[in-house]
Amino acid sequence: DAGITQSPRHKVTETGTPVTLRCHQTENHRYMYWYRQDPGHGLRLIHYSYGVKDTDKGEVSDGYSVSRSKTEDFLLTLESATSSQTSVYFCAISESRVIYGNQPQHFGDGTRLSIL
Amino acid sequence: GQQVMQIPQYQHVQEGEDFTTYCNSSTTLSNIQWYKQRPGGHPVFLIQLVKSGEVKKQKRLTFQFGEAKKNSSLHITATQTTDVGTYFCLLSNSGNEKLTFGTGTRLTIIP
């Protein structure tokens, strides 16, 4: 499997608290993605990054921010967590955007986040 | 936004039976990828289809891309217990470069 580490793996927190999830890669891939996975919705893209300090919104970006200060790290922040953000969060990496080549996305093991 | 219909949502089959999942888009696609996610695991890349009408095979798995590049299918011949999991398509829209996952088809096998 690709060298992707997500931390923490599990977190329980209260509504209104800030939460930061970390994705760390050792593959030197340019693209990094944050998804959330919920029953009935599949995987939905929150934000993605196409380089250091270069990020863009996905389809469910409201309530989330991201930062990428180094190639290997992509952080996802919930500034003030809400119960609707309870989900499993996956980070993924790829060498290039899918449409420009045959580069698959490699996923981390996920973070299970519960907001009470 | 792009509507990605993946059907069926669930499929229960006897071991040895065939299985097919379909992914349908309302817009023309530049390419499509398929992923498999085992229970409790993360999605794992299976294959990418790029050309209109393309057919690719991986052992018992057959992947097709529609002639109009708006739909795709994944067919498994003679399912085995190791095929259990959820199969997702990932669509790349040719117009706006958006990436969208299908809602997935969850396959369970009855031994």
Of A40, A92, A98, the CB nearest to B31: A98
Q: Compare B60 and B26 and report the one with higher pLDDT.
A: B60
Identify the bridge partners of residue B24 per DSSP, sorted by sequence position: B5, B71
CB contact A50 to B (< 8 Å) = no
List chain A domain ranges.
4-115
- Tell me if residue B51 falls in helix, strand or coil: coil
Concatenated DSSP letters of B44-100:
EEEEEE-STT-EEEETTEEEEE-TTSSEEEEEESS--GGG-EEEEEEEEETTT--EE
Of B6, B31, B44, the CB nearest to A99: B31
Domain tally, chain B:
1
For domain A4-115, the CATH architecture is Sandwich (2.60)
Taking CB atoms and an 8 Å limit, are B42 and A104 in contact across chains? Answer: no
Minimal Cα–Cα distance from B4 to chain A, Å? 11
In angstroms, the CA B106 to CA B104 distance is 6
Taking CB atoms and an 8 Å limit, are A42 and B102 in contact across chains? Answer: yes
**Residues of chain A neighbouring B99 (CB-CB closer than 8 A):** 45, 98
In angstroms, the CA A86 to CA A78 distance is 11
* pLDDT, tens digit only, all 116 positions of chain A: 569 999 999 999 999 999 999 999 999 999 999 999 998 778 999 999 999 999 999 989 999 999 999 999 999 999 999 999 999 999 999 987 655 555 889 999 999 999 99
Block residue for tokens 């379909």:
B22
B10 burial via Cβ count (<10 Å: 0-12, 13-18, 19+): exposed
- Domain range for B35: 4-110
CB contact A108 to B (< 8 Å) = yes
pLDDT at B18 over 70: yes
